[in-house]
Structure 1
Amino acid sequence: MTYTTVIFDMDGTLLNTLDDLKDSLNYALNQMGFPTRTLDEVRQFVGNGARRLIERAVPAGTAKETLDTCLEIYAKHYAANNQNKTKPYDGIIDLLKELKDKEYKLAIVSNKFDSSVKALCKEHYDEYIKVAIGESQHVARKPAPDSVFTAMKELGSKVEETIYIGDSDVDVHTAHNAGLKCVGVTWGFRDREILQNAGADYIIDKPMELLKILADT
């Protein structure tokens, strides 16, 4: 069956969010009196949601109550500062224009807070993407397939006509857990070797290369 639906990860795939994530994380760490983290450390920490980001960033052995406070500070700061430096990767807008012109159904699924996912989607991609699903009490975070299934339900799409695009091993596992093929992208937060080892079905280096995959399947 020909693909009709493309589901994207957000951070590291559609948007370069790393600087804003680092700034909010380091603000929270500073407030708690903890050492701050480098951009490369933050790059390795992200991908499994905000709580896991904080767990990885705070000193080993940090009490749960302290971690919860740090997460609360981070979440409040990021909600107010998540568009300071964040921007689409080169070529993404051109890709989305092509996909819209070809009448593909598009969605975003992310391990970011649902409110942040929806706000960032509206700010950067409102013309192209109407369905954006983030982490919430109602949807288990990736690599559980729940967010993917929720997006497909909202789009009215079937598994066999949907393909998933992401930049990390978490995304590959998410796609496969949902029964989808995964296109790994190398411009994000993880390198080609991680995507290969995770079992990505395809790997691309530039956004427009996705069109050839869609055309050939």
Structure 2
Amino acid sequence: MELSCSTLILDLDGTISDPSLGICRSFNHALQTFGFATHADSVIANEIGPPLDVSFKKLVPGLDEQLIPALVAAYRQRYADVGYAENTLYPQIPLALEKLSAGGIQLAVCTSKRVDFAIKILSMFELLDYFVFIDGGDIGISKGQQLASLLAQQQIDSQAIMVGDRDVDILAAQQNALRSIGVLWGFGGYQELAEAKADYILASVCELSDCLA
């Protein structure tokens, strides 16, 4: 498989790095702060990817939406202090980015994470210089809206490809008539990505660099 694209847009969590430890601890910190039951890491890991407000609603059925901003603030307070650093870079990602960049592929990041957190994480891993832009989200903003805004601002065009590990990444690309690549080293499995109708599904990081560079 050999693809061409104008910009390769990568998700962050579950695509570039594994943030599960910091995210799980920060979710449970927020839940505990407001008297809600905490969850096993395996339960919270299923909610990594979508915006925080969506994840909190799934973790607390019947949640009063007026509490969401406070829960998000408690989550972010811990995440900003220590959670962002409880993050592991997927092996071979630096090599793949180097190969893609050397092959003339323009790289970018589109994440549901707030942009300051995304920049902090990428800087920690010394990856920031590979990307022409970092687009971050916030509560109430879908990834589909993020991509639509990037298209409207002409930061990307119709030949861009979205890469991510969850169905939200694939569906966001579809909503904007973009191609998508689902990856299996993150938090979404093959069935989730296939049901979302990812254009391509890759099992390893080296496949990503090989199919484009």
The answer to whether the superposition gives a TM-score over 0.5 is yes
Please list the CA deviations of residues 58-94 of structure 1 after superposition, one character each: whole Å capped at 9, or x if unmatched.
3x33333333322221122112223332021111111
Looking at structure 2, the residues matched to 37 and 12 of structure 1 have their Cα atoms a distance apart, in angstroms, of 20
The range that moved more, 69-78 or 19-28, is: 69-78
Looking at structure 2, the residues matched to 117 and 22 of structure 1 have their Cα atoms a distance apart, in angstroms, of 17
Residue among 47, 51, 59 paired with 2:49: 47
Written as runs of structure 1 = structure 2, the 5 A alignment for 1:9-158 is 9-58=11-60, 60-124=61-125, 125-136=127-138, 140-142=141-143, 144=144, 146-151=145-150, 156-158=155-157
Looking at structure 2, the residues matched to 48 and 165 of structure 1 have their Cα atoms a distance apart, in angstroms, of 15
Deviation at residue 107 of structure 1 after TM alignment: 0.5
Task: Summarize the Cα distance change of 1:97–1:152 in structure 2 as closer, same or farther, 3 Å threshold.
Answer: farther
SS at match of 1:98: helix
Structure 1 contact 48–170 (Cα < 8 Å) conserved: yes
Written as runs of structure 1 = structure 2, the 5 A alignment for 1:194-205 is 194-205=192-203
One-letter identity of the residue aligned with 1:182: S
**RMSD over aligned Cα atoms:** 2.2
Structure 2 contact 51–138 (Cα < 8 Å) conserved: no
Deviation at residue 119 of structure 1 after TM alignment: 2.1
Structure 1: runs of 5 or more not aligned: none
Identical residues among aligned pairs (%): 25
The range that moved more, 123-132 or 165-174, is: 123-132
Looking at structure 1, the residues matched to 16 and 119 of structure 2 have their Cα atoms a distance apart, in angstroms, of 13
Structure 2: runs of 5 or more not aligned: none
SS at match of 2:27: helix
Written as runs of structure 1 = structure 2, the 5 A alignment for 1:181-196 is 181-196=179-194
Deviation at residue 13 of structure 1 after TM alignment: 0.6
Partner of 2:207: 209
Looking at structure 1, the residues matched to 52 and 96 of structure 2 have their Cα atoms a distance apart, in angstroms, of 28
